[in-house]
Every structure is written in structure tokens, then in C-alpha cells.
Amino acid sequence: MARRIFVFCLFVFVFSCDLSKKENKVENLNNNESELITKLPKVDFSKDFSIEFIENNDIDQWTKFISFKESIESISNLDPQGITFYLDELEKKIEELLSSSIPKKFNSPSIISRIKLIQMQVMKCRFYSENQQNNKLEPALSEMYKYYNSLIKRIISFVEEENALPEVNENQ
């Protein structure tokens, strides 16, 4: 009888030590993933899209776009602790932008699709932020900024194309 009690105690001791190690590993994994993001990725926004460029090409009349531009560019400078709130606000601004009237000059599928791509990436970032998947959030934010820069470059190319067309017509 004493031998059975000894074997039972040894059995419980061995498995209880093993379970506590597994619980610690799971707890450490959860702690690492749920740590708050401490820094946001730094972004180089296009220098060609200056205030002068915006004013010279009447982009400043497109108020919803200006509001969207200010929101997306300010996220990289804001407190990372409240990123979910900022992303939620940015998503609302994108909805307003898409539902507003887009100037004829920029009302093309390539511009609208780029805005929608940014919208999808903002949703993805917000999901990662809400679920504290910070290891996926930083690359998603970088992708969002890459898509934003692509939109800006396309707007710039639209203006350049428009400026080049009168020269082509004059030569003919």
C-alpha cells in the first residue's frame, strides 16, 4: 500500500511540474503578443506633394481629401497607445472621402481603387490593433503608408499628364 501511495505521489509530482512549464510558456507567448506597440513605423511622404502643389492644382478645394491626408500623415506622429482610435477615425474619413464628390480631374478608377486599397489596409490595421497582434500591426501600417504614397504618386502623375497634354495638342 505504501508503495502505491509513493508511486501515485511521484506520478502527480512529475506531471504537475510538466504542466506548470507549459502554462508558463503559454503565458509568456500571450504577454509578448499583447505588449503595447511602443513605436510606429517612420514614413517618408512624397516631397512632391507640397502645399504649393496642392494649391496650384486645386486639390485644396477637395476638402475631404485634405482631411484624409492630414489624418493619415499624422498617425505616424501620434501616441501608439491609442492607435485603434486613430485608425477608426481614419476609416470614417475614408468613407466620407469615397462618398463625397471627387473632382473630375481625379475621378478615375485608378484613384478610387487606391483609396479603397488604403481603406482595406486601415481595416486590417485596426483588426490587428484591436486584437493586440502587434507583431502583424507594424508591417500592416508600413503597407498602408506604401499604398498612400502610391495614391499620392498617381495624383501627381495625373497632374503631370494634364499639363503635358496641352503641349501635345499645340504641336499638332
Residue 48 shares a structural domain with residue 132: yes
**Cα separation, 10 vs 62, whole angstroms:** 75
Residues of the domain holding 44: 40-171
Residue 157 shares a structural domain with residue 92: yes
Residue 52 pLDDT: 87
* pLDDT confidence tier of residue 2, bands split at 50, 70 and 90: confident
Q: Is residue 34 over pLDDT 60?
A: no
* pLDDT confidence tier of residue 147, bands split at 50, 70 and 90: very high
* Average predicted confidence (pLDDT) for the chain: 80
- Domain count for the chain: 2
Phi and psi torsions of 73, nearest 5°: -75, -25
Residue 23 pLDDT: 53
Please, what sign has the CA dihedral across residues 117, 122, 125, 127?
negative
Cell of 47: 516631397
Residue 29 shares a structural domain with residue 98: no
Residue 4 shares a structural domain with residue 54: no
What would the pLDDT profile of 43-82 be if each residue is shown by its tens digit? 666 667 788 888 888 888 889 999 999 999 888 787 777 8
Mean pLDDT of 136-140: 90
Is the pLDDT higher at 24 or at 139? 139
Please, what sign has the CA dihedral across residues 83, 89, 94, 95?
positive
Q: How far is CA 74 from CA 6, 68, 130, 166, in A?
A: 66, 10, 20, 36
Residue 45 shares a structural domain with residue 79: yes
Q: How far is CA 170 from CA 163, 164, 165, in A?
A: 12, 10, 9
Residue 19 shares a structural domain with residue 66: no
**Cα separation, 162 vs 169, whole angstroms:** 11
- Of the candidates 35, 128, 26, which has an alpha carbon nearest to the alpha carbon of residue 87? 128
What would the pLDDT profile of 81-121 be if each residue is shown by its tens digit? 788 899 999 999 999 999 998 888 888 999 999 999 999 99
